[in-house]
Structure 1
Amino acid sequence: MTPIAFALVATDILAAVALSAIYFHRHRRRDLVVAFLGVNVGVLAVASVLGTAEVALGLGLGLFGVLSIIRLRSSEITQREVAYYFAALALGLICGLPHSELAAPIILVALIVSVLAIADHPRVLSRARHQVVHLDRAIADEIELRAELENILHGDVTALTVQQLDLVDDTTLVDVRFRARPAAQAPSAQAPARRQSDTTHGATFADIVGGTQ
């Protein structure tokens, strides 16, 4: 193994560990950390053994196709996790291909890890939400449905798609994209309870005073 190839292997391992650490710190799925590292190291090893850019490119496209099939047949992998999969695969391909210099692959590796670290940061688009809501009412009017969803979700609906409108059982299944309102604007659930509690205690105290008189 040449010094450049050895340096690329070390770079790939460090980048894959960093990528997996970012994912686990934010989403806490150990099984996917194992999958990301396994995909990365496997692609790195195969690409290094094959040793030509043409074969490695074909291998990469084939693995992208396999991951697409896995995504279509699995209901537990989100689009975010697919992005991490593809990033782990791309890191293995970049570092597994033969290179005559280190600058270009290292820059690409740093770019991939940096983009995912920033794009998946909790503060980026933090108020954007996605929810599938099953209402116990059949609402055919979109304006009324939007108002009902905004009242339930305490947010501003940006897009909605009615997946099922059941007029027999009187239900609506809707896919909602909405923007959560700041905490200061959300209605407090504890305030009515406290007011009711204060009223109850006040009535009890008045009854006691009235009884003593």
Structure 2
Amino acid sequence: MKIFHILAGGPVDHYADFLYYESDDVQWVAADRGVFHLLQRNIMPVAAFGDYDSVSEEELRWMREQTTLHIMPKEKDETDLELAITWALKQKPDIIRIFGATGGRLDHGLANIQMLVKSLDTAIEMILVDHKNEISIKRAGTYVVEQNQRFPYISFLPLTETVTGITLQGFKYPLHNQTIQWGSTLCVSNELNSKKGTFSFTSGILMVISSTD
């Protein structure tokens, strides 16, 4: 299995526990100040992207001594994280996890979540992870979800205007063939009743968020 972990430049106190997701299959990629934080942890990225406007000149010199940096112009059409995600997708891994992408500016956080749609037309599972959430995006279909004590609450939010045919089995609050639209909280904060459950829907795109308090 080929797994890429991408570290963006968000606040350190919103990082998930990297060790929980670590394995021999993981390769790290970093964007902007995420490169600095990764190197501070003695983790060497296989690729590093950014204009590095969020680090000092001294920090940038130190980073250049540690690894090769793809230094991008400050004025460009993509964020540093988008460049890192685009590169990672081209490597065709099985899984991409994105860390350090929430907890700062709201516009950046929302844009980072929306970038999960880049994996929809691929076989790559892409997940945004922070200290309280795991977020993914799904097309219509049937999916198995396993109980996770770290993130016991599961919410389903429509990313398209309407999502139809939502059915939840094995959940505390089951549903059968329901439709939800933007602004609905019907599928917020559910829980599994057993070790495994299933969710399915027939049309639309759904955001799946596993969370803890």
Regarding TM over 0.5, the answer is no
Higher strand share: 2
Question: Normalising by structure 1, what TM-score?
Answer: 0.22
Higher helix share: 1
Larger Rg: 1
